[in-house]
């Protein structure tokens, strides 16, 4: 899986399009980064940029953008409705895939340090990158805004985390953070009343509503100890929301910001809005996603709704996305195009030439051509994927079998494992060919570097088929479980699946042995061959066991 983080810098410029174009170009011209969105606001005089990529590439793009912003934006001349204290006002990093929040916080602090050292910006770190609890809240870090920044910098308690401590009139200061992914999400109602929509928003949002019921003795509205309003919390954590009427569509909406989708994901917010709306005599008719969403969030939503139906969740990603879109009505107001709305799909290299994207006919033709790749390793991975796919199919069918309702989750769990394995084996179809090509490249390396390059490439060419063997052996374990517990009518499918999976193990094993003879490290070679032997024996035992059950 790619390691992806998102960067969402906010620049204090929303009117000068030449400046915005220059910042956009700085991001676009950074290799490995995709600029997803540029959202300027004239009234706020502020623009939100959104780009994504591998962490190191994103950091480079953020530095390039900051340098352009520092050169072209003059905070001494800035006016706007939004709170701000710097040219690059805030620069949060958000983990998308393959990166933890702890790792993202470390990247944020690396970015903060480099912005201070290389661009000369005054930097404060907040939220998950904060250096102290006092600095976690952005509102506290930015209090006083640009006009109060000079005085703030003179306070030792507010010395910056990185960069100069002297007031920079032109650039101000920048706040850098690591935060969770934020989703802007609207739920559509079958009413035109913004007041009713607002009431539902108050029901669900974390802040809730002001308590207005009078004290039974005094008849006065209840106040806190200091005379402040008392709030009744809503039902959802990490959710901000209001109700409004959208004239363009003729409906009222609950407009929400889901500030931490690991705590309250989109599908949970949708269901809660349905329940609260129904309690007020209103129906939810659909919903609307603003911007983009990580793939994992859509897959989780699809699994959630299938689970509520007691259906197997071990289906394809496209089916999970379809279920999520239909269940939440994400296409009610406009088409929901996954390739445009899901981050990983939107940034995918459309020009990449992958074997797994070929038709079956074309794959066979390429395998039969004069080219040495794809070869036996890639074909083994493909056959293994088919074996895992058949085992997954039996799990899905068994989960939905009439009369087996109490066992649906057992089969769904096995189908989930099978899906993960056939996805991994499909990925290895191309990885094996890449590993073979690396050996060809190594042979053309400069003479003084050639032997080291060949040995490194040889290890890669051994590890790729070993991964195939491991995944295909695990697929045989699913075949074994389905042969024992799955639908008897599908036993032949399980049998074919086991034959395919074991063929993948045997074929990949041939590749390991072929490449291992060129490895000069005796200990490493023997370790690879020993694991190969163990996997082959395990796979053969499982195939024999499955076929005996099928025959019975």
Which residues are known to be catalytic?
A: 82, 432
Spatial separation of the C-alpha atoms in residues 467 and 455, rounded to whole Å: 19
CA distance 63 to 65: 5
Question: 491-525 as b/e, with b when 16 or more CB fall inside 10 Å?
Answer: bebbbbbbbbbbbbbbbbbebbeebbeebeeeeeb
Under DSSP, the state recorded for 157 is: G
What is the C-alpha separation between 60 and 69, in angstroms, rounded? 14
Are the CB atoms for 149 and 85 separated by under 8 Å? yes
Give how far Cα 275 sits from Cα of 14, 268, 272, 289, Å. 39, 11, 5, 20
- Bridge pairing between strands 122-127 and 46-53: unpaired
Output DSSP code: residue 348.
S
Give the separation between CA 425 and CA 419, rounded to whole angstroms: 10
Under a CB-based contact definition with an 8 Å cutoff, are residues 230 and 147 in contact?
no
Q: How far is CA 360 from the centre of its chain?
A: 30
Q: How far out from the chain centre does Cα 481 lie? A: 31
> Which of 346, 342, 302, 296 is closest to 326 using CA atoms?
302
Return the closest-CA partner of residue 9 out of 21, 27, 30, 32: 27
The DSSP call for residue 236 is -
Rounded CA-CA distance 476/483 in Å is 10
Per-residue HEC secondary structure of 299-333 comes to HHHHHHHHHHCCCCCCCCHHHHHHHHHHHHCCCCC
Distance CA(23)–CA(40), nearest Å, equals 12
Contact criterion met (CB below 8 Å) for 51 and 36: yes
Between CA 83 and CA 145 the distance in angstroms is 6
**Are 234 and 268 in contact, with CB atoms under 8 Å apart?**
no
Which uninterrupted H or E stretch holds 147? none
- Of 487, 265, 466, nearest in space to 380 by CA: 466
Asked if 550 and 494 touch (Cβ cutoff 8 Å), the reply is yes
CA dihedral 28, 30, 31, 36 (to 10 degrees): -40
Q: Phi and psi (nearest 5°) for 252?
A: -90, 150
CA separation for the pair 43, 494 (Å, rounded): 63
Alpha carbon of residue 13 to chain centroid: 29
């Amino acid at each position: 899986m790619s390691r992806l983080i998102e960067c969402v810098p906010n620049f204090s410029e929303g009117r000068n399009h030449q400046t915005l174009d220059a910042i956009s170009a700085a991001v676009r011209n950074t290799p490995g980064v995709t600029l997803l969105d540029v959202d300027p606001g004239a009234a706020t005089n502020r623009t939100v940029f959104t780009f994504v990529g591998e962490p190191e590439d994103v950091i480079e793009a953020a530095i390039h953008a900051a340098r352009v912003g520092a050169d072209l934006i003059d905070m001494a001349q800035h006016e706007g409705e939004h709170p701000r204290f710097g040219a690059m006002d805030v620069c949060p990093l958000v983990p998308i895939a393959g990166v933890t929040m702890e790792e993202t916080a470390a990247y944020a602090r690396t970015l903060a340090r480099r912005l201070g050292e290389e661009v000369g910006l005054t930097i404060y770190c907040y939220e998950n990158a904060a250096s102290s609890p006092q600095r976690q809240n952005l509102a506290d870090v930015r209090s006083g805004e640009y006009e109060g920044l000079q005085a703030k910098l003179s306070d030792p308690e507010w010395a910056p985390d990185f960069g100069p401590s002297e007031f920079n009139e032109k650039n101000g200061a920048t706040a850098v953070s690591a935060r969770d992914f934020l989703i802007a999400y609207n739920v559509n109602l079958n009413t035109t009343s913004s007041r009713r929509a607002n009431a539902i928003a108050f029901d669900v949002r974390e802040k809730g509503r002001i308590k207005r019921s009078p004290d039974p003795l005094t008849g006065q509205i209840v106040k806190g100890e200091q005379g402040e309003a008392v709030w009744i919390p809503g039902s959802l954590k990490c959710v901000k929301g209001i109700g409004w009427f959208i004239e363009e569509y003729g409906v009222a909406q609950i407009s929400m910001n889901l500030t931490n989708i690991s705590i309250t994901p989109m599908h949970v917010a949708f269901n809660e809005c349905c329940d609260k709306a129904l309690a007020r005599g209103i129906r939810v008719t659909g919903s609307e996603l603003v911007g983009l969403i990580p793939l994992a969030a859509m897959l989780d939503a699809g699994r959630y709704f299938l689970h509520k139906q007691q259906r197997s969740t071990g289906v394809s990603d496209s089916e999970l996305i379809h279920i999520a879109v239909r269940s939440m009505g994400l296409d009610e107001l406009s088409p929901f195009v996954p390739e445009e709305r899901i981050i990983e799909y939107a940034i995918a290299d459309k020009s990449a030439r992958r074997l797994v994207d070929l038709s079956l006919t074309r794959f066979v033709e390429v395998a039969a051509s004069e080219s040495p790749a794809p070869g036996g390793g890639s074909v083994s991975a493909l056959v293994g994927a088919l074996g895992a796919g058949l085992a997954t199919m039996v799990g899905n069918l068994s989960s939905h079998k009439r009369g087996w309702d109490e066992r649906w989750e057992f089969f769904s769990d096995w189908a989930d494992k099978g899906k993960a394995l056939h996805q991994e084996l499909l990925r290895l179809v191309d990885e094996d060919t890449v590993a073979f090509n690396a050996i060809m490249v190594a042979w053309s390396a400069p003479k003084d570097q050639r032997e080291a390059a060949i040995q490194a490439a040889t290890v890669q060419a051994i590890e790729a088929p070993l991964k195939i063997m491991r995944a295909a052996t695990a697929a045989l374990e699913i075949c074994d479980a389905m042969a024992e517990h799955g639908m008897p009518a599908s036993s032949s499918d399980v049998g074919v699946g086991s034959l395919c999976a074991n063929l993948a193990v045997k074929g990949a094993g041939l590749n390991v042995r072929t490449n291992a003879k060129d490895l000069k490290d005796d200990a490493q070679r023997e370790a690879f061959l020993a694991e190969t032997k163990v996997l082959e024996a395990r796979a053969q035992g499982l195939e024999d066991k499955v076929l005996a059950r099928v025959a019975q």
